[in-house]
Structure 1
Amino acid sequence: MAEEAAAKSESKLDRLRKRRPWLDHLFRANERYSQQYGAHYAAAVTYFSVLSLVPMLMIGFAVAGFVLSSQPQLMDELKTGITEAVPGTLGNTINEVVDQAIESKGTVGVLGLLTAAYSGLGWMSNLRDALTAQWGHAKADLPFLKTALKDLVALVSLGVALVVSFGLTAIGAGFAELVLRWVGLDGVWWAELMLKIGTIVLALVANWLVFLWVLAKLPRRPVGWRSAVKGAAAAAIGFELLKQVGTIYLSSVTSSPAGAAFGPIIGVLVFANLVAQYLLFITAWTATARENLVKEPPPAPAPAVIRPVVEVRSGPSPRAAAGLVGAGLLLGALFRRR
């Protein structure tokens, strides 16, 4: 009867979660994401991500200044590409900014490096704290200098991983196009389709390697590579989908002059926040897998209460007294006969 009553009290969703382990896993991940303030951490990561864009662009302009100063033809092609890509007078404004940044490339590069170090450390610190929280670990009180040094090493390592990832994707795509030209299949539709599929697969593999490193090495407590494999695969696929959606969104919001001015900024904010939330949710999904769940110890029994019972009697009970009197009379009668 008790089991039937418990079964009736379960909701349809509870029964569905028992029958579908993957659905139960998603609900566990969502509960962990909400309990560990995933949206708040994603907002902090988004803020520092956008803040880091400015110094990174400054460094990019400085590098471009050193490279393009002796290549005026490439400089003209860059300005022409900006003018064609950005509608209205915004393209001319960006070209003026590029000219000023290239002219003062030394100062811009130094300021960019200093600002990038500050904003990058803030971004990495919040990202590592966010990933650690999704694993259910409380934020520990760590030494400032030691933590900052570790965050700097992690930031540089992540930058190297991203460069290697994008480099592999670009080199792989370029090499595939070169092979098509060599074999005479350049322009053939099925060969172009295979090249497109291969490029996507290569990008997924590169993203998987990056996310595998992020999920396994960025949390402040060690995480096994095996635990992060599935999460990295899901993150890589989701990131590619988000990139496609972001491309469509940016092309739609920049179709008007007002959208060209404000659309990219809003688009970067939205895209960065979506990526941050998705990454933290994937981390929560990885942390709540069956093999990573920490078994809760059985509840401790209630404390034992010892209550000694002490009875103090002043004399024998009436029944015992009557028995003693009877025994005395019997013994007395026996002694008299002797």
Structure 2
Amino acid sequence: MSEPAKPGVLDRLRARFGWFDHVMRAYGRFDERNGGFYAAGLSYYTIFALFPLLMVGFAAFGFVLSRRPQLLATIDDHIRSSVSGALGQQLIDLMNSAIDARTSVGVIGLATAAWAGLGWISHLRAALTEMWWDQRIESPGFVRNKLSDLLALLGTFGVTMATIAITTFGHEAPLAAVLKWLGIPQFSVLDWLFWLVSILIAVLVSWLLFTWMIARLPRQKVSLVHSARGGLLAAVGFELFKQVASIYLKVVLRSPAGATFGPVLGLMVFSYITAYLVLFAAAWAATASTDPRAKPVDPPPAAIIAPRVHVDEGLSNRQTLTAMGLGAAGALAFSRLARRLR
């Protein structure tokens, strides 16, 4: 008789540590629902949506320069002093043509940004819904989906702007300005304190943003408590990634090739890792959720249909003789009864 197989290292760790078992179940859910594929698609849509936003930014900058000729003259002088000859004049002419076309560039940029933004939020909601639900969510219709995506996009934009505003107060310069306004002298030990406070504020802000995404962007209502825990996990991972990315940029930007291609590659990696963290946190929250709709439903057992063929062989000899005797006795009794009635 063969002995039962001993559990492996991962099985023993999962049986001993509940948090490790949760991480493995979350990664299994993330992998089964093609989380890496969704993260790659979201990084593409994120980068694609940046170009119309840049057009809107150029248009807004053009409107500012058109109303401030002194600032425009200062920029012209700076270009002429930095780039001499025909190239400098070409740059100035290009800037002037961009300022003249600010209205058309802004309109095209806004329309393209709205279209790209709706595509981005639609795919993000689809990916988050896939991480949460095992059953397929029925679509309410194209128009209702787009209206819902528009509201989700506006809500995400508002939460993002609020988190950016809060983040600005967590940097060292605003904190130093507040201390100066309060009349508190700045010591060297306060630099470390400012750094710690800025990290804490960044984590809290990221927690708010990721919780909003995980809890409110799926197309069905999900648990806010488990979403907040998943958002905290994503916020901590996101802050660690930002610290590593800042070191990467400092090293890469030292070389000419790194200064040329480093920011582009950094943007692609940044968008991919961010989407990966958000989707994994959603899978982590889904595995912790007790909502019965998020659990797989076992199919009913297979119905076994076994047809039975019954062959009718007719009456046997004994049954035939018995029927004939009963028929003769009945006929005799009927004839006697008829004679008496006469």
How high is the TM-score relative to the length of structure 2?
A: 0.75
Contact kept? 1:133, 1:139, Cα under 8 Å = no
**2:150 pairs with one of 152, 156, 159:** 152
Tell me whether 1:66 sits opposite 2:63 in the alignment.
yes
Q: Deviations over 1:140-189 (max 9, x none)?
A: 34411111111111111111111110111214546532221134445411
* Structure 1 residue 51, shift from structure 2 partner: 0.3
Counterpart Cα distance in 1 of 2:281 and 2:220: 17
**1:53 pairs with one of 50, 55, 58:** 50
Superposed, 1:166-177 pairs within 5 Å as 166-173=164-171, 175-177=174-176
Instruction: Name the SS of the counterpart of 1:197 in structure 2.
Output: helix
Structure 1 counterpart of 2:160, one-letter code: L
Contact kept? 1:36, 1:136, Cα under 8 Å = no
Contact kept? 2:55, 2:109, Cα under 8 Å = yes
CA gap 1:113/1:33 in 2 versus in 1, 3 angstroms: same
Superposed CA RMSD: 3.6
**1:31 pairs with one of 28, 33, 41:** 28
Counterpart residue number, 2:189: 190
Counterpart residue number, 2:41: 44
Counterpart residue number, 2:284: 285
Counterpart Cα distance in 2 of 1:79 and 1:298: 73
CA gap 1:286/1:79 in 2 versus in 1, 3 angstroms: farther
Q: Deviations over 1:76-119 (max 9, x none)?
A: 58997xx99xxxxxxx9999876654442212211111111111
Structure 2 counterpart of 1:166, one-letter code: I
CA gap 1:24/1:215 in 2 versus in 1, 3 angstroms: same
Tell me whether 1:143 sits opposite 2:170 in the alignment.
no
Tell me whether 1:245 sits opposite 2:277 in the alignment.
no
Tell me whether 1:22 sits opposite 2:19 in the alignment.
yes
CA gap 1:306/1:158 in 2 versus in 1, 3 angstroms: closer
Counterpart residue number, 1:121: 118
Counterpart residue number, 1:333: none
Contact kept? 2:226, 2:289, Cα under 8 Å = no
Counterpart Cα distance in 2 of 1:95 and 1:171: 37
How high is the TM-score relative to the length of structure 1?
A: 0.76
More displaced 10-residue stretch of structure 1: 71-80 or 254-263: 71-80
Counterpart Cα distance in 2 of 1:31 and 1:149: 33
CA gap 1:65/1:279 in 2 versus in 1, 3 angstroms: same
Counterpart residue number, 1:336: none
Counterpart residue number, 2:323: none
Counterpart Cα distance in 1 of 2:100 and 2:250: 31
Instruction: Name the SS of the counterpart of 2:220 in structure 1.
Output: coil
Structure 1 counterpart of 2:232, one-letter code: A
Structure 2 counterpart of 1:193, one-letter code: W
Taking every aligned residue pair, what percent have the same amino acid on both sides?
39
Structure 2 alignment gaps of length 5 or more: 83-88, 311-315, 317-342
CA gap 1:305/1:128 in 2 versus in 1, 3 angstroms: closer
Count of aligned pairs between the two proteins: 300
Instruction: Name the SS of the counterpart of 1:288 in structure 2.
Output: helix
Contact kept? 1:231, 1:283, Cα under 8 Å = yes
Contact kept? 1:58, 1:101, Cα under 8 Å = no
Structure 1 alignment gaps of length 5 or more: 85-91, 315-338
Counterpart residue number, 1:257: 256
